[in-house]
Structure 1
Amino acid sequence: MAINSIAEIEDFVRKESGIFPGKKINPSTTIEDDLHITGDDAIEFMEKFFDKFEVDYSSFDFQRYFNGEGFNPFKLLLLPFPSFRRKFQQEAEKVPLTLGMLAKAVELKKWDAEKIEQHQLN
């Protein structure tokens, strides 16, 4: 990864997310939780990211990192049923996607979840 790639990614994130210029972001900043990019906005954000940085996204699993658009209160009614509760818990247990992970994808030039997520743990 080039020395300035994280800076380029930070510039891209600032431009695409519209975050306040003075807000601190770093490699551990999460796209969904910290920057509040979710649902359709997250799809558009990731499409622009893959295009701009020429990252092969053929193995990218959107559902692994992002929740869907909005909140469905009817899901709460299904929680007493074990099969629905397991599905609801799986939906809630997303891998937090960070700027550092985006930088690793740029370095690899492809989305390799195992390498990218392992890099985040180091």
Structure 2
Amino acid sequence: MPKQYEKVIGFIASETGYSEDKILIKTRLYHDVGLDGDEAEEFIEAFAEAFNVDMKGFEFYRYFNKEGLDSLALLGSLFKTKRDQKPLDEITVEMLEQAALRKRWNA
């Protein structure tokens, strides 16, 4: 197991409380670990700082939901079905490892 991979796994476990034993190369932050909203935003900021990763171009709302709902979003959500909602893209441990190695987000 490469050193950077181990560091990323340790970081995810320490920041989220998710068991290191359950974190694999294909583990997804939103879908598996359950990161979302403000917690996800704080995690991404901490990841960028810890691994010195340039996150320019990172589109938060591609991967995570917004924290809470404003009144317009709440009204809109009443009339939308699951089919109307765009599924979130995945961020995997492998993607984080690659960003840590390259020192920039490139997904």
Normalising to structure 1: TM-score of the pair?
0.74
SS at 2:90 equivalent: coil
For 1:34, the equivalent position in structure 2 comes to 32
Alignment: residue pair count: 104
For 1:120, the equivalent position in structure 2 comes to none
Structure 1: where are the runs of 5+ without partners?
A: 114-122
Shift of 1:33: 1.3
For 1:7, the equivalent position in structure 2 comes to 6
* CA distance in structure 2 between the partners assigned to 1:108 and 1:20 by the alignment: 26
For 2:85, the equivalent position in structure 1 comes to 89
* CA distance in structure 2 between the partners assigned to 1:20 and 1:26 by the alignment: 11
For 1:119, the equivalent position in structure 2 comes to none
Give 1:55's aligned amino acid. V
For 2:59, the equivalent position in structure 1 comes to 61
* CA distance in structure 1 between the partners assigned to 2:77 and 2:42 by the alignment: 28
* CA distance in structure 2 between the partners assigned to 1:53 and 1:46 by the alignment: 11
CA displacement, residues 48-97 of structure 1 (integer Å, 9 cap, x when unaligned): 000000000111110111112257764443238xxxx88x423xx21111
* CA distance in structure 2 between the partners assigned to 1:75 and 1:24 by the alignment: 36
* Identity fraction in percent: 34
CA RMSD of aligned residues (A): 2.5
Which contiguous aligned blocks of 4+ residues in structure 1 show a shift greater than 6 angstroms? none
Structure 2: where are the runs of 5+ without partners?
A: none
